[in-house]
Amino acid sequence: MARKPLIAGNWKMNLNHLEAIGLVQKIAFALPEKYFDKVDVTVLPPFTDIRSIQTLVDGDKLLVTYGAQDLSPHDSGAYTGDVSGPMLARLGCSYVVVGHSERREYHAEDDDLVNKKVRAALKHGLKPILCVGEKIEVREQGNHVAHCNAQLIAALKGLKAEQVSEVVVAYEPVWAIGTGRVATPADAQEVCSALRGQLAEKYGAEIAEEVRVLYGGSVKSGSISELVKQEDIDGALVGGASLDGEEFAKLCALAAGGPLP
């Protein structure tokens, strides 16, 4: 089964709601509708931008979807500062990032919490974009594949096979994030293919064929084509390059197989 590529723009902690509207308009203007047959495009803004993006997307019937960068493992209650799955679902979010290395590092999120967040997302009809990836020391020791497989299996613990088919996996080597040092297509393919292999072993070949596995880490329009040519890479989780509307639209068009708009 051919998987439709997904390009997800993780804005991280950038852009207020007015700037967010401007960026989504730029993307929609630069990327004609025909591209959306061949690539799914989503933006992942800060929470404070989501309502404005929802209004724009709904009002102008844009084909760009949107989501969030994190969610609470809880549905409601006394969890100051948290934002829940039901709240995001009500705002029309399609995706939510879970287990990004920046959350693991700066908010001490462990595999158990990541698992709870994956479950919370699925419970409310949000597709989790589950991030896994190794730090440089792990790669230097040659343990990157085992490390990423272990993160994947821990995050999916207790899920049924049909739930796993809703998950998007993103392989993001920590050493490639925001460094300008993109993994080679072969390095990225090695891990993405191993992750799909793990999914096949645990949940069956059919499910593993359905799951989209993205690569993330310094992806730009100049590197996307070679990455998506790899058998097991179904798109990208893009940070820095997603903040530039024209560059992001170009990247999406190339992931769709071109031509450039």
Ligand X SMILES: O=C[C@H](O)COP(=O)(O)O
Which one, 181 or 229, has the nearer CB to ligand X?
A: 181
Extract the tokens encoding 120.
């919370």
Least separation, in Å, of the C-beta of 47 and ligand X? 16
Extract the tokens encoding 108.
């001490």
* 178 known ligand binder: yes
CA distances to 40, 166, 185, 208, 242 from 236, rounded to whole Å, are 11, 17, 12, 18, 11
* 175 known ligand binder: no
Least separation, in Å, of the C-beta of 239 and ligand X? 2
Which one, 145 or 219, has the nearer CB to ligand X?
A: 219
The pairing of beta strand 235-238 with beta strand 95-98: unpaired
CB atoms within 10 A of CB 178: 12
Amino acid in position 37: D
User: φ, ψ for residue 127 (rounded to 5)?
Assistant: -85, 115
Which one, 122 or 170, has the nearer CB to ligand X?
A: 170
Question: Could you list the residues that contact ligand X (CB under 6 A)?
Answer: 10, 100, 172, 177-178, 216-219, 237-241
Which one, 76 or 179, has the nearer CB to ligand X?
A: 179
Would residue 100 show up in a list of annotated catalytic residues for this protein? yes
Least separation, in Å, of the C-beta of 179 and ligand X? 7
* 218 known ligand binder: yes
* 16 known ligand binder: no
DSSP summary character for residue 71: -
Biggest CA-to-CA distance, the chain: 51
Distance CA 91, CA 99 (A): 21
Q: Which of 102, 134, 172, 190 is catalytic?
A: 172
What is the Rg, in whole angstroms, of the alpha carbon atoms belonging to the chain? Answer: 17
Least separation, in Å, of the C-beta of 223 and ligand X? 10
End-to-end CA distance of the chain: 27
Give the relative orientation of helices 17-30 and 50-59 as an angle to the nearest 10 degrees.
Answer: 40
Q: Which of 100, 102, 124, 190 is catalytic?
A: 100
Would residue 172 show up in a list of annotated catalytic residues for this protein? yes
Active site residues: 100, 172
Return binding residues for substrate: 10-12, 178, 218, 239-240
